[in-house]
Structure 1
């Protein structure tokens, strides 16, 4: 087996690592200072736009899109180590390279299922980093882990769809640059096939009847760098029938197509978060003394660091295998592995971050280190794109089916 990166991946890794060291890490405190001086905390700090311009100049742009017409034309296996690197600064680097969720998934949906008008109006400015977007599926009134539960209505009246419903934790929606929502709702709520009841429509943010009610917090964080997570009300919002993505009844299938790559992208970046945590652990351990010797000489600390390294190496191999399978046999053929990494990676990285926080003492839960915010992000990913238990249920059924 050949574990080496190919020449294109190695070239981009070298450039991206240098970009992180020279631009991204120094920009982290600058972004926080600039944000504090902004008229609205949801506005984008100037340094973020500077990072985007530099990344684009260096060719570190739209790396996630495998279609060379729209993006870098990389395979999942080529993109995996690059996403890991950006995961070391998850609140800046993905945005700087135009590889941030939920825009990545929305661009994939438009590229794969959008018509030419939709691509021209929404995909092109997203690819250029001129606007942001949001994906509106999760609802507060139902168990959204089962997407067939959603209750938002999309009713056709003549040449228009009328959307009525309540969504929450709609990532990116607080950002004033978020101009378009992809909304999932039911066009055929009484249909016999529960997976053909849903459709997806494009709803511009300024559509009458669309209200951003409030920002939702995650462990007390409002996640300004990602554009927040909003509760959004659709009160008889009207859009042209031409805003339908794909076909009526195709929403569930489009959601599954969107979430497959999204899940592996999250896991790639989580490994980068874990690497950042290990680095911080090691730096802290060699710089602090307790009970007469350096923390690095304490057996429990050595165990934490060793276990973290073993865990990261295991996760990386599983993620790379999954990426390779997605490239060679498709997302459906890699279904088991996609679910396996989605279960294993957030859970393990949360554990690594928890120990890194413990090693930093009070500093670990403070704003002086990125660990608390990284922890909040990693813990949320045990829920996002399907909670662990849903993936465990599906994976177990697939395993048991072999013996029934």
Structure 2
């Protein structure tokens, strides 16, 4: 009985130790140092590249992590507002709206250089040790999925003060300041940013609203330097506005591209018809629609959308080539088709463009020209040319050889 009591006591002690150890490890997991997801600030944005310099002052607003707006006055006092959702943007100016699909530089800077630092605590971090860094108590972690990435996080604020990726520091603390009379909570932190082809500085401020906000970001990429200066932060509110149209664009483009890859042509038409209804200037939409109509044997639908695209960009080589080839297949407008094919080849002597032009010369009975162009097309075939396209080039060349033999 005594031995059993000893075993029970040892078991209880081990259980208590394991529970304490688990709690200690859990306590070492860093918390969030930014807890707001909506905010507004006055912003001055200066971009400098060589002798070029631009400066915009306006109102910046965010709904984290991927919804933004920036509004500023033009020199004529007209208001320009840019709203962003992921890589989609809507610019409103003088009652007109223009859409963009490659992001907006201001929003991309925020997403690339500030927001990821606020999400360090969400990464799979493994605690290593409590240490001292720059006269601060910090906890050292490494990234479970990449042990070469090591992070030192301030115990008091949860702000990362040093991030090493191998032997390269992508972030390091350079300075921090206390307000006079308060040495318990520092109010300003300066962090140096680094990376391949990138350098910069991020200055954070502990505001009177008891939260950390950026007051300055200086980012240099190559010979371009962007300086963002923030003032008058308001938290837990925003002026981003309604982004439902941008979300619809993203959704329909994603659906349409997926349907295109699967050869589901009716779904391609349904999605991209909605896209160009919203944004009649979205050039890729007309390409996708034309392609879908073509494979559904809808000649007029294909031609109409290629023509719509060319109205937006008359020198687009791909649209010129595709419309020319459709005319040639139908044996209509051959003179115009060859002129369009010549325009496409003048921009790029790709094998498929050369094939269209050579085939056009063949249809016009200009066999010597057709032979020279199609032989060049065959020689230009590389890994980017599909087996089907190569087969068409070879077929057209055989047709030319046969015609020349007949002469």
Q: Same fold (TM over 0.5)?
A: no
TM-score, normalised relative to structure 1: 0.21
- Structure with greater Cα Rg: 2
Q: Of the two structures, which has the highest relative contact order with CA contacts closer than 8 Å and spacing of 6 or more?
A: 1
